[in-house]
Structure 1
């Protein structure tokens, strides 16, 4: 029963994180082209603030439930299949990319916006896009590997 709860929380965390990145990169960003640059930057800031807050909660839940499942269900790394090892590796990479994003370009973007420096905000915003896109790729690979390995592939 507890294992099912951990697994459900793990999957929900992954859906929120990866789904949010899909929305941000493939839906929101192209749609923002109808706005003027200052409005685009303001909307980016508001959306990313909410999304990054969500990830600050989803990421630890994902990592914690992943470890609880790894050691409670599989008996540790030795008992886990190749897909679990790959998920573990990509999860750590994704967490590192996210931490890099929020402590670097996100902080720079917000500081530039607070100063009213639109040109200065554009550079970190582009870096945010690149890092979110990188994490989206890692997230999609992780989901595909999880699904593939789950059924003995």
Structure 2
């Protein structure tokens, strides 16, 4: 696969994942105050379900394309007879991306499942508690993703 295509897949995946978190956290969630709590929970469950289906593709694709880009750099250095020393910011991106993927898996498998179950049972308090756990973890992932992007853009620390 050409490097340009890998970089494009990597960036598009990040746009979906991080952009979706920005939209949900800063625009959708505050706007839901006009709805009654049961409606809020039902809407957020439906929206998150659609978003998480997209992220289930985008997040592993971002991780895999990043790993392939690092692998290509390693191959190029090895082919030239050089010694590979990845810049620190590559390690930070790879480690941070792996952590983001793990946090996403936890969100999807633990609090989101609890949210779906609570909404299905009409249990508003349990749904609100599960949604709060989703929101907290999404905020963490959004902060981590933003830090990774800034590290990549600044190539810091080199």
- Regarding TM over 0.5, the answer is yes
Moved over 6 A (4+): none
Structure 2: gaps spanning 5 or more residues: 78-82
Unaligned runs of 5+ in 1: none
Count of residues in Structure 1 that have an aligned counterpart in Structure 2 = 152
Does the 8 Å contact 1:109/1:121 carry over to 2? yes
Moved more, 76-85 or 140-149: 76-85
Q: 1:25-77: CA deviations, max 9, x gaps?
A: 11111111111111111110111001111110001111111111001124489
Q: State the alpha-carbon separation in 1 of the partners of residues 56 and 95 from structure 2.
A: 19
The alignment's TM-score, normalised by the length of structure 2, stands at 0.90
Report the Cα distance in structure 2 between the residues aligned to 1:69 and 1:149, rounded to whole angstroms: 16
In structure 2, what is the Cα distance between the partners aligned to 1:19 and 1:78?
33
Q: Distance in 2 between matches of 1:146 and 1:80?
A: 13
Q: 1:136 aligns with which of 117, 122, 142?
A: 142
Structure with greater Cα Rg: 2
Q: CA deviation at 1:80?
A: 2.3
Give RMSD over aligned pairs: 1.9
Distance 1:139 1:44 in 2: 22
- Following superposition, the deviation at residue 85 of structure 1 comes to 0.6
Distance change (3 Å), C-alpha of 1:115 and 1:40: same
- TM-score relative to the length of structure 1: 0.93
